[in-house]
Structures are given as C-alpha cells and as structure tokens.
Structure 1
Amino acid sequence: MDFGLNEEQQMIVETTRAFVENELYPHEAEVERSGVLPLELIREIQAKAIAAGLYAANMPAEVGGAGLDTLSWLLYEKELGRANYALHWTCVARPSNILLAGNDEQREKYLMPCIRGETWDCLAMTEPGAGSDLRGMKASAREDGDDWILNGTKHFISHADLAGFAIVFMATGEEDTPRGPKKRITAFFVDKGTPGFTVREGYRNVSHRGYTNAVLEFDDCRVNKRQVLGEAHKGFEVANSWLGATRLQVASTCLGRAERALSHAISYSAERKQFGQQIGKFQGISFKLADMAMELKAAELLTREAAWKYDQGTVSEADMSMAKLKATEVLAMIADEAIQIHGGMGLMDELPLERIWRDARVERIWEGTSEIQRHIISRELLRAVGG
C-alpha cells in the first residue's frame, strides 16, 4: 500500500478544497442560522460544481461520473466534508451507488437525471419501529397482477423533499431459516406524485441544519413490477452489494470536519496568549493537540486502508466498520476538545466549531450506530475461531 498521493489524487484534493472554500464556506453562516438551503442557491452552486467536474464524481466514467478509484473518491469526500453538510451533499450531489444496480431502463429513467443534476434520489429504509433492525420493518408490499401495492411509513429519509423519487425497501413476505422465519425484502423505485405516496415534513434536527429529513407514507401505493430494483425478495442482497462503501463515505466526511476543527485549535493555540505566553505551550493544551492529531491520523489510516482493500477486493465488513467507528468517534472528540481549547468563543457561531460539534453527534447513529459497528467487528473476530 502506497501512503503517498499520486499527481491525480493531489489535484483532486486541491481542486475540491478550493471549491469548498470559495463556493461553500461563504454560505455556511446563513444556512446555519436560517436552517434553510434555498433552491436558487442550490442551482447556482450545482451549476458551478458541474462545470468544475465535481458533480456526481462518485459515479463510473461510463455513466458520466469521474470514474474514481475508491481512495480517490474518499479523498474527494473528505474535502467536501469540511463544509456544512447540506451545502456539499445537496449542491455537489453524489447519487447513491445503488442506482447502478438498475437495469438499462431504470438507469435511463432514474440514474442519468441524477448525474445530470436534474433531480435527486432518496433512500427509504428506516421506520419509526425499525432502525438498526431492518428485518423488523413493518412497511410491506404485496403483488397484484403486474403491480405491487405498498403500505406503511418510513422516516428520517434524507432530502426526500427535493428528491424526484425514492428507493423504498419493503417487506414482501417471509422465508423459513434455521433461526426461524425471516422477512423477505424488496426494493422499489417510487416516483414522487404516485397516488398513495405522500412526503411529509420530518423532524427538526440539531445536526446538519439545512439538510432535511422527511416522513414517507404509503397508502395502497401501486407501482408496476418494472419498478422493482434488482429481484423481488432480494432487496438486502442489492443493498449489501451496492451500499457497503457508504460507511467509508461517512468516515471520510468526518475526517474533513475533524481536520478543520483541529486546524482551528492549532491556530488558536499559537495565537492566544495567557499568563504571558502562547496557550499552546501549556501542557494542558499541548497534550490535547498531540492526542487530537494522533487520533485523527489513526482514523485516516484505517479509512485509507479500507479504501485500498476495497479496490483490491479484499475488504471485510470489519475493515469498513472500524473506519466508520473510529472516524465518527474521533470527530466527536476533536470537536469537543477544539471547543475546550477556545473556551467560550468556541461555542459562538462566529466560528464553525459549534456547528462541527453539533453535526458530529449524528455520525455515530446513521449508517449503522457505533454499537452496530462494534457488533460487526466482534462477530468477525469470533467467527474466525468458530464463535
């Protein structure tokens, strides 16, 4: 594994960082204070991102993306992650990789408009009673001739207000297993405006202001069998095949914010003076900085190793879980310590630290809680010895 960046990767980092600093940072304060990301601003930044070649860069070159290897993609994600989440996720969108699982007709109808910036996708799995336990979902679909009829509720569905369609996972029966009955799951494309499909405003969130969530309701919502993504009853297989790297994406965006918070802490420690000297020379501060830098490096190395192994075809579930777990917990620690170093000013919205601190909290919950990641890691360890 080569720990250095090649010329192309260095260019990706520099180009993306310049875009974030010039096009996203200037709008952070207003989005944070209003909690709203206006559509006209989205379209303005989106056009610039498309012109810069940064839009949908996670997609393969054959469908109009940048065709990046996994490490290069995560370097790009890290730089975008420095900014307010709503600004980088919505204005510099990265369509879900699961769209690549669609057939030719589905790719043309759903994937390509997302890559061109004409619409957005949203992924609907979580329910009020089924978060980490997706097999416990109650929303269901039943066959009716050439159609499926969907009923139930999903919530915490990111940016569903903007999305032109949802990729919805529904229970479609049960199968017997050695451990008892297990629900079969099917994924469906559901267009906004389909009768029986309602998008309602979600919850006010302490993290990621301007980045919305919604409640999706399905009341005898009828979709054609052509709108099944993958095979019927194989929704989990589709998700596991195409969504595994999202944990690495979360890890990378967390690394970007952690690095930004650490940078503020280092600068402030060198500039601020108390008792006649820079506060960074006090052991109480200098040791914090050392620990922050060390933990950030550890998280970055775990993430880079997982990215490298992903492209080698040797990555394990534990590799990705370790990266996600470490990066999200390191972000929380660095954000907290950066505020402690700044004292009262760290909690003021003149600096991005209080936002980074707030935003850090959700990262240990979505895309698999820290507890779920620890379960995955320990399960892999025990399986190796027959446990």
Structure 2
Amino acid sequence: MLLDTVKRFMEEEIYPHEDLVDRDGEVPIELGRQIEARSKQAGLFAANLPESIGGGGLDYEAMHIIEREFGKTSHALHSWIARPTEILLACAGEQVERYLLPCVTGGKRELFALTEPEAGSDIMSMRTNARRNGKDWILNGSKHFISGPVMPDFAIVFAATGSDETPRGQRRRITAFLVDVGEKGFDIAVGNKCVSYRGYHTFRLNFTDVRLGPGQILGEEGYGLELAGKWLGMGRVWVGAVCCGKAERLFQMAVEWAANRKQFGQPIGRFQGTGFKLADMAVELRAADLLVEDAVRRANAKTMTDVDASMVKLYCSEMLGRIADNTVQIYGGMGLMEELPVQRLWRDSRLERIWDGTSEIQRHIISRSILRPLGA
C-alpha cells in the first residue's frame, strides 16, 4: 500500500515537471510548495521521524521503499517532500520547539553543513572553528556544496572547538551548532551550479564572528562527529536505494528500446552486443537491491556498521553508473538528445559516486576494516 501511494504520488506530482525543472535549472517556488503541501496530505512528509513528535514513524524498511521510488527522479523535486535530518532528534530543551518541531511540520527547513573547500573527504582538516567567549561561542569559517531544495531557515554547522590527546595523537574536537539564517555575520547564497540534478541548489555559507549562545550547540560540545556519523551511515544506504530506483528506471527504458528499435531487420536486443548488456544490467541491479535490503535489515536490528553502509554506497553508485552508460549506448545517438530523458538520468547518475563520500573514500573505509585487525 505504501509503494502504491508513493508511485501514484510520483506519477501525479513529480514526473510531469521533470523536463521543466531540468530545462530551467530551477523548481518554481509555487511548485515546490505544492509538492510539499500534497506530500503532507499523502502522509509522506517527515515520514522518517517518530510519530511522538508528529512524524510518520516509518522504520528503515518502509523508508527503503520510499527512497527507492524517489530515486527515479531528481532530488530537485523529491526533496520538497522533506525527510528532516535525523540528527535533529538530538535537540533538547528549547531547541525542540525552535528547530525540531518546525522541521516536522514544514515550518522550517535545515541544511547539513559539513563540507568545506579544503575539507571534503578529509573532515578532520576543517577550518571552520568556534572559540569560547564567556558563555557564548564565536564562529568563523566557510562551507560549500551544502545541498538543499530551497533557501533554509537554519543550518547544522560543524566546527572545530579544540583538540584532545588520544593514543593515536591529537584529534580535533568537532561540535555541531544550530545557526539561524539572518544571524549577524552569517552569509549564505546559492553557489556553483551542478549539471547533475539541475534545480537542486548547492549553497555556500560564510561565517564571520557569528556569536552563538550555549543553547545553539546540538548535542554536546566535542561530539559533533559522533552525531554526524549516525546520520551519514543511513544516508549512504539511502544513496544506495536511490541508485537502485534510478537504475531500474534506466533499465526499463533500455529494455523497451532494445525490444522496439530495429536494425538489420530485427530488434537490436537480439544481437548479443545489446542482449548481453541487458543481462548484465539485470544481474547488477538485483545484486544491488539485495545489498541495500541486507543493510536495511541490519539497521533495523541496530547491527549495521560503517562498512556495511560503505559497501552499499560503493556498489550501488557504481552499478548505477554502468547501467546509465549502457543505456545511453543502447540508445545510441538518441541517448544524448535533450528530447529524451535518458541523457538527464545519465547526468544525474554521475553525482552519486561523489557525494556522501566518494567511491575512493568508501574503498578506504572497507579496506581499513579488513587490514586493521591484522595491525596493518
């Protein structure tokens, strides 16, 4: 029933607007608000958060169904159906009314601000910092490639607040702050335009002596990375689900084209050069789906590890890249024509191997887990 609801919503509210958004590079604000409003009516808005605070209360298996279907279209459109960052569940006291609950109702939108120009994959080299000033904190630094569908109301900003001695040497202490748009010294604007997911903004954030009160720390001082890790792990699994959804849509296009496009008097799918591509695509998609399902079951059982999430992110994003490329190849020249959606899905697919941790970072996490027990 959930799957039917999501599919119907996509067909009625999302797919009809794909070409417009890709062509103009923007989701008209009235369209975004319409998607937001109708997703609330359908019960899809904030479905990932607990019922106790007004969310949909769906578990990971149910969210897997949703994320996979959303993956068939652009983030520019489906992200208007908010799934607030679960790290906000760390809100306490006045933060609940000020930040968490408005995100559940749609009264506010947040950004997850971790990446910097000099600290993408290497988070511990971040330059954004906050120093104590009496009871307050003074925030300085910058972030970029912080993605979202619309100008936010506040950002969850990660900053270095000191360092600690560990058995492996000094380790920077990272803290998460809740920073309202409009705070003095906080400048935010739409940044670079990406060829993937046109209309899905990448914001740049700059902080110049932004004064924050003690009530604007999310969680505890020094525990920002621990909070981020809880979100990033499932975030990578959801990337995997998105990749499977998009791969299925591309695969269906490839199959239909191979069955109906004729050359030398027969459908091109009968030629091994095309038919074998379809066979490989089907196997890879099945394997990717099973990998995501396994991670989701582990997450529901609270046994999923960072390595599990990295395996999903790595395999599914690279599987999608291969399926997207093969679909273009099967379509031939028509696969690159703007009149058909294949080229858009091909462009969108490329980003999945980069954000939420590049393929190289995922391989590093996986290989490190293999070698560390042996002291290497």
Q: TM-score, normalised by structure 1?
A: 0.95
Cα displacement string for residues 259-291 of structure 1 (whole angstroms, at most 9, x for unaligned residues): 100000011111111111111111111000000
- Contact 1:119-1:164 within 8 A present in 2 as well: yes
2:35 aligns with 45
SS at match of 1:119: coil
Q: Which amino acid aligns with 2:17?
A: H
Unaligned 5+ residue runs, structure 1?
Answer: 1-10
Please give the residue correspondences for 1:215-230 in structure 2 after superposition, counting only pairs within 5 Å. 215-230=204-219
Please give the residue correspondences for 1:167-182 in structure 2 after superposition, counting only pairs within 5 Å. 167-182=156-171
Q: Deviation of residue 59 (structure 1)?
A: 1.2
Whether 1:64 and 2:54 are equivalent positions in the alignment is: yes
1-structure distance, mates of 2:341, 2:243: 14
1:279 to 268, 276, 279: 268
Q: Deviation of residue 161 (structure 1)?
A: 5.0
2-structure distance, mates of 1:169, 1:137: 9
SS at match of 2:233: coil
Whether 1:346 and 2:335 are equivalent positions in the alignment is: yes
2-structure distance, mates of 1:353, 1:239: 34
Please give the residue correspondences for 1:61-100 in structure 2 after superposition, counting only pairs within 5 Å. 61-89=51-79, 91-100=80-89
SS at match of 2:204: strand
SS at match of 1:126: coil
Please give the residue correspondences for 1:298-309 in structure 2 after superposition, counting only pairs within 5 Å. 298-309=287-298
1:254 to 232, 243, 246: 243
- Contact 1:126-1:157 within 8 A present in 2 as well: yes
Name whichever of 288-297 and 358-367 sits farther off. Answer: 358-367
- Contact 1:98-1:243 within 8 A present in 2 as well: no
Q: Deviation of residue 386 (structure 1)?
A: 4.3
- Contact 2:141-2:206 within 8 A present in 1 as well: yes
Instruction: Show structure 1 runs of 4+ deviating over 4 A.
Output: none
1-structure distance, mates of 2:263, 2:110: 51
1-structure distance, mates of 2:240, 2:153: 27
Q: Deviation of residue 142 (structure 1)?
A: 0.5
Whether 1:373 and 2:362 are equivalent positions in the alignment is: yes
Q: Which amino acid aligns with 1:138?
A: R
2:200 aligns with 211
- Contact 2:232-2:356 within 8 A present in 1 as well: no
- Contact 1:140-1:151 within 8 A present in 2 as well: yes
Q: TM-score, normalised by structure 2?
A: 0.97
Q: Deviation of residue 382 (structure 1)?
A: 2.0
Q: Deviation of residue 233 (structure 1)?
A: 1.3
1:14 to 1, 4, 11: 4
CA shift in 2, pair 1:223/1:161, >3 Å = farther
2-structure distance, mates of 1:280, 1:22: 32
1-structure distance, mates of 2:108, 2:150: 11
The size of the alignment, in residue pairs, is 376
1:364 aligns with 353
Whether 1:103 and 2:92 are equivalent positions in the alignment is: yes
2-structure distance, mates of 1:253, 1:134: 25
Please give the residue correspondences for 1:25-40 in structure 2 after superposition, counting only pairs within 5 Å. 25-40=15-30
Name whichever of 216-225 and 344-353 sits farther off. Answer: 344-353
- Contact 1:248-1:320 within 8 A present in 2 as well: yes
SS at match of 1:341: helix
